[in-house]
Amino acid sequence: MKFLIADDHAIVRKGLAEMLLEEFPDCEITEVANGTEVFHQLSNQIWDIILLDISMPGRNGIEILKQIRTSGINAPILMISTHSEEQYALRAIRGGASGFINKESATEEFLTAIRKVLSGRKYISASLTEKLAETFGEKTDHEQLSDREMQVLQLIGSGKTVSEIALEISLSVNTISTYRTRILEKLKLNNNAELTRYAIERKLI
């Protein structure tokens, strides 16, 4: 069985690899740190499961996920993140993910998620399932944002300037400014301070 772990933090990759080897002693594990390395590995061999971090430098995990699916690769993809599952799980599932799990989850929950997506099913936690049932039909303001707008919102919320964001995700300053304007309009906010507060209060960063 072949596992591909994509996360820009070496300590996270190491922890996941150790957990997987304990549960699947004969598995092969490859670790990568960014989207470019993900696609390099996908072009070389077939994977039984991909563990893909949402927050990586350059293209974020949701963007990478969608590109993987567009390219016709059907391997199960379990999205992992430190961010709230309430904010990202549905976005990930809609993008083609097989499941979503928070990095702070217990080992047994990780293994449950992995077994479930390996069997061809979807995985979201029981707690999120309950919350979704409670809020069925409601729609939060930031669900209107595109994946790129969501990424820019996160980066603004983390304190980065327009120029820094443009450099990090390889887009022009004008393009980032346009995204910022759209975000402000959609969220009915006025400035970066309000964007930052919005992101913090909703645990988007």
Average pLDDT in the chain: 89
114, 65: one domain: yes
The structure's pTM equals: 0.73
As given in the structure block, the two tokens for residue 27 are 């598995």
Report residue 56's pLDDT band, with 50, 70 and 90 as the boundaries: confident
The larger pLDDT score, comparing residue 139 to residue 155, is at 155
60, 80: one domain: yes
Residues paired with residue 29 on neighbouring β-strands, in sequence order: 3
Q: Which amino acid is at 23?
A: E
120, 145: one domain: no
Q: What value, to the nearest 5°, has the Cα angle with vertex 205 and ends 68 and 151?
A: 40
- Sign for the pseudo-dihedral over CA of 131, 137, 140, 143: positive
Q: Of 19, 53, 11, 49, nearest to 34 (Cα)?
A: 53
125, 167: one domain: no
73, 174: one domain: no
* Residue-range definition of the domain harbouring residue 119: 2-134
Give tens-digit pLDDT for 96-146: 999 999 998 899 999 999 999 999 999 988 776 666 555 545 556 787 888
What local confidence, expressed as pLDDT, does residue 133 receive?
Answer: 57
103, 148: one domain: no
DSSP state of 170: T
- Of 134, 149, 174, the residue at which a domain comes to its end is 134
| For residues 23-39, average pLDDT | 95
- Of 90, 109, 134, the residue at which a domain comes to its end is 134
56, 154: one domain: no
State how far the Cα of 35 lies from the Cα of 53, in Å rounded to an integer. Answer: 10
Number of domains within the chain: 2
22, 51: one domain: yes
